[in-house]
Amino acid sequence: MKLKVLLLTLFMSLFLAPAVLAAEETPDGLVQLFLPKYPTWHLKMELPDFISPGLEYTEDGEDVYFEAGKPDENLFMSVHIGPKKRGEGAIGCRNFYKMQMFMDKNYREVNIRDWQYKDITITEHEIRNFENTGKMLKNYFGCMVQDDKWVSILISKLGYMRGDRGYFIDILKSVKLIDGPPEEYVEFMVNKLLTIENRSAELENLLGLYYYEREDYKNAKKYYRKAYEKNLKSNELDKLTWLDMVNGLGVSYAITKDYENATKIFEYGIAGDPEFGWFYYNLACVYAETGNKDKALANLRVALKYKVNQNNGHVLDSPLADPSFASLMDDEDFLEIARQFE
């Protein structure tokens, strides 16, 4: 029995999910930011007791902005992640900020100091009597770079006192730019998808694929079936996603020995795309496992006809290595067909 991810891998499919899902905040103040365009890495920081209004994205999805604050303490911070625009590294990022800072004629910055903390290049400055409040505004602007991306962090406090410096430093110390395994992003995205009410057929399909990859076929059937039923009403899935959904649902039924529903789903798929080889191949698996040699070989012959007519460059695998055909491994008719797949 075979399941091929027809559009993208599970990881890349989740990467296409709505960008608004790309942030997480835990009760202990740990914030994780993921950039959907570069989902193999993420930013972590600790912001206990901060209030986080959320994220904003530019239209092309390459920039993410996160804001948080403690209004009762006049403390504010923001994070921007996006492609580099100027300069060769973190210093170029910081200098770009300083250029904008000096161009702002409404404020007069004083006590400007540049320094380095680990991978973060920092500019520290003050605006005295900010907007005639009689209070000083203290800004820490930090920038770090990974590959072709900037991460800039702005921490500001109105009414800054000398004792606040340690708090600012603690926030900077907590910042970690992690080039981590994609699985962490996938787990994060799946947990967010599960919280969405009235999910689309596309999102149900992603959840089905997620559980299939983890060999949780009960849940795979559950979410693939939801995708199937919703798409019958909405017809929202594009062709590649539809093929993925139908094939995934059929294979999940077959693996759990629900051969009747597996047969119905693969026949439904063939009616929708009679030249897609995986439907015939997997239907042949169903018939082989249920002892119907003639129908197994008939479908395998059609699968062979469409062997190279698969989406996204996939080619049908050889049935000689497929345990679904174990009962036919000594059958000459089967062997004659199977050898042509190699």
Helix (H, G, I), strand (E, B) or coil at 3: coil
Residue 30: pLDDT over 90: no
Residue 164 CA, chain-centre distance (Å), reads 37
Contact criterion met (CB below 8 Å) for 168 and 202 = no
Helix (H, G, I), strand (E, B) or coil at 56: strand
Cβ contacts of residue 192 below 8 Å, gap of 6+? 21, 24
123-152 b/e (C-beta count within 10 Å ≥ 16 → b): bbbbbeebeeeebbbbbbbbbbbbeebbbb
Q: What confidence score (pLDDT) does residue 97 get?
A: 73
HSE-CB at 230 with a 13 A cutoff on CA atoms is: 18
Long-range contacts, 187-193 (Cβ 8 Å, 24+)? 188/24, 188/32, 188/34, 189/14, 189/15, 189/17, 189/21, 189/34, 190/14, 192/21, 192/24, 193/14, 193/17, 193/21
Residue 182: pLDDT over 70: no
Domains along the sequence of the chain with CATH: 41-179 (3.40.1000.10), 199-339 (1.25.40.10)
pLDDT bracket for residue 213 (50, 70, 90)? confident
pLDDT bracket for residue 341 (50, 70, 90)? confident
User: What are the pLDDT digits (tens) for 288-315?
Assistant: 999 999 999 999 999 999 887 555 556 7
Token pair of 143, please?
């920038």
pTM of the model as a whole: 0.61
User: What are the pLDDT digits (tens) for 95-137?
Assistant: 777 777 777 766 677 888 898 988 888 989 898 888 888 999 9
Share of the chain above pLDDT 70, in %: 78
Residue type, position 248, single letter = G
Q: What confidence score (pLDDT) does residue 308 get?
A: 74
Question: Helices 201-213 & 239-255, crossing angle to 10 degrees?
Answer: 40
Residue type, position 59, single letter = E
Helix (H, G, I), strand (E, B) or coil at 132: helix
Residue whose token pair is 């903390």: 117
User: What are the pLDDT digits (tens) for 257-294?
Assistant: 999 999 999 999 999 999 999 999 999 999 999 999 99
Q: What confidence score (pLDDT) does residue 19 get?
A: 39
Contact criterion met (CB below 8 Å) for 85 and 63 = no
